[in-house]
């Protein structure tokens, strides 16, 4: 059962300045796009409202002043229903003409008649109305509603029908123009955000470069004196053992262990600075061989803790090859195995498993322990430097700089670090790395 993912989707670390600039550009572009979309919707709504009011005034005015169907205003069709027949403005669509005639008959000439293609609004009717006063009708034809107004004048009934297609054309032109302007505005805003983002984060990038340089320089300077201290401490331990001074040996042993921890921290800091600077050279790396190296290196440490450590034998396994830095990947696997052994009980086991998913083109290195496991609440802080689990100070998992460095190594190789629950208890840390497209013959 999966307990969580420590690092996100695979991806190289890349340039932090570029990432920050792209993030700012994306946010600015998204915000601008939202504003533009709301502006387009608002403009379209207001345009429709204003056009509806103007159209209603236009058809009412046309109906109020009509006396024949010859001189129709632009965009208006006039329909006359007279005792001697029906007349319409030249160019009136037949469907609109028929629907308007039916609407006029329903409205005044023949109230009892039914016309499914036309309806009368409740706004006004000619029955009881003053002469020449327009009344509202809605004409339905060709799947459209055509705004119209009717009027009775000296035994004749007229209808003024607006060509709604003009409104649709104007609306499309408006929305198209606003859409083009909006796209240009979003692109310009994103470009401005990207340029501003690069300028804004440049001081931070300079500070990070100085920090990485300081860490690298300090690590280089500290490695030599720490090595001397470690050698002197080991020599002192041998002398004390030779002289039978067992009462001082625990303190000297602790001194040797402390110097080793300090050396490991310095090495981790130096490797972290190198990864950030992208100084490492990539080459094909056989993960089976890496796992075997780590297993043989930590076997005495695991045996001393009473933990059985197993790993794949490279001579009996098909290589699982990735493109990366051998020393960095070895450090990542070693950190996970060291952590697994440290948090396993005596008599338990730790397995290092290497596999390849050819379909997904990914390589997996699983470090399986049967210890106390990992609390899901700890997953968010596991990759922070010098983080520790919320469990007991004495029994809880302490990851220090190691797991943060593992995450950094994995991400720099375009992979991910996941943690799953081991069946029966414990935790399994999994390195997921992209497979390299190399032949087995390319490896030594």
Query: Is the pLDDT score of 66 beyond 60?
Result: yes
The domains of the chain are located at 76-162, 281-442
Confidence of residue 308 (pLDDT cuts 50, 70, 90): very high
The Cα–Cα gap between 103 and 393 comes to: 87
**Higher pLDDT residue, 244 or 159?**
159
- Candidate ranges 2-6, 101-105, 383-387; pick with highest mean pLDDT: 101-105
Q: Per residue in 203-215, pLDDT tens?
A: 766 776 766 666 6
What end-to-end distance do the CA atoms of the chain give, in Å?
Answer: 37
Confidence of residue 371 (pLDDT cuts 50, 70, 90): confident
Confidence of residue 432 (pLDDT cuts 50, 70, 90): very high
Angle between helices 326-342 and 402-412 (to 10 degrees): 150
Indicate the range of 20-24, 159-163, 367-371 predicted with least confidence: 20-24
pLDDT of residue 393: 45
Query: Is the pLDDT score of 395 beyond 80?
Result: no
Instruction: Kindly compute the dihedral angle of the four CA atoms of residues 324, 318, 340, 233, in this order, to the nearest 10 degrees.
Output: -70
Confidence of residue 288 (pLDDT cuts 50, 70, 90): very high
What is the CATH code of the structural domain delimited by 281-442? 3.30.565.10
Indicate the range of 78-87, 249-258, 271-280 predicted with least confidence: 271-280
- Candidate ranges 108-112, 170-174, 363-367; pick with highest mean pLDDT: 363-367
Q: Per residue in 406-431, pLDDT tens?
A: 887 888 788 888 888 888 788 889 99
Query: Is the pLDDT score of 121 beyond 50?
Result: no
- Residues of the chain with pLDDT > 70: what percent? 74
Confidence of residue 12 (pLDDT cuts 50, 70, 90): very low
pLDDT of residue 111: 41
Query: Is the pLDDT score of 110 beyond 70?
Result: no
Residues 245 and 236: beta-carbon distance below 8 Å: no
The Cα–Cα gap between 41 and 52 comes to: 16
The residue-averaged pLDDT of 67-91 equals 85
Q: Which of 421, 317, 323 is nearest to 371 (CA)?
A: 421
Query: Is the pLDDT score of 396 beyond 50?
Result: no
């Amino acid at each position: 059962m999966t307990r969580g993912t420590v690092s996100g989707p695979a991806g190289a670390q890349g340039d932090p300045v570029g990432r920050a600039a792209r993030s700012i550009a994306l946010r600015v572009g998204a915000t601008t796009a939202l504003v533009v979309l709301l502006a387009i919707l608002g403009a379209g709504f207001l345009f429709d409202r204003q056009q509806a009011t103007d159209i209603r005034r236009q058809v009412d005015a046309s109906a109020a002043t009509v006396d024949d169907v010859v001189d129709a205003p632009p965009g208006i069709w006039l329909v006359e229903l007279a005792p001697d027949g029906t007349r319409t403005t030249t160019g009136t669509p037949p469907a609109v003409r028929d629907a308007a005639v039916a609407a006029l008959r329903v409205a005044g000439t023949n109230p009892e008649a039914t016309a499914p293609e036309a309806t009368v609004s409740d706004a006004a009717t000619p029955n009881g109305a003053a002469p020449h006063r327009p009344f509202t009708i809605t004409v339905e034809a060709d799947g459209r509603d055509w705004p119209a107004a009717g009027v009775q004048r000296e035994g004749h009934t007229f209808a003024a029908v607006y060509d709604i297609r003009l409104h649709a054309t104007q609306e499309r032109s408006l929305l198209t123009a606003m859409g083009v302007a909006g796209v240009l505005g979003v692109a310009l805003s994103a470009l401005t955000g990207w340029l501003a983002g690069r300028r804004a984060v440049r001081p931070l990038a300079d500070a990070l470069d100085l920090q990485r340089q300081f860490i690298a320089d300090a690590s280089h300077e500290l490695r030599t004196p720490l090595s001397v201290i470690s050698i002197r401490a080991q020599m002192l331990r041998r002398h004390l053992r030779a002289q039978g001074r067992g009462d001082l040996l625990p303190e000297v042993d602790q001194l040797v262990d402390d110097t080793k921890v300090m050396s490991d921290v310095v090495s981790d800091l130096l490797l972290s600075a190198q990864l950030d600077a992208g100084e490492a050279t990539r080459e094909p790396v056989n993960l089976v061989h890496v796992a075997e190296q780590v297993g043989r290196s930590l076997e005495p440490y695991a045996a001393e803790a009473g933990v059985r450590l197993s790993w794949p034998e490279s001579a009996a396994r098909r290589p699982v090859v990735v493109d990366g830095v051998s020393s960095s990947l070895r450090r990542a696997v070693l950190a996970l195995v060291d952590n697994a052994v440290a948090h396993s009980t005596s008599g338990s086991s730790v397995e290092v498993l290497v596999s390849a998913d050819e379909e997904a083109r990914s390589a997996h290195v699983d470090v399986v322990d049967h210890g106390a496991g990992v609390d899901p609440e700890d997953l968010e802080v596991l990759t922070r430097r010098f983080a520790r689990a919320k469990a007991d100070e004495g029994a809880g998992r302490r990851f220090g700089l190691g797991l943060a460095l593992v995450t950094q190594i994995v991400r720099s190789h375009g992979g991910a670090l996941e943690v799953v629950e081991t069946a029966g208890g414990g935790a399994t840390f999994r390195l997921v790395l992209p497979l390299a497209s190399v032949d087995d013959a390319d490896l030594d």
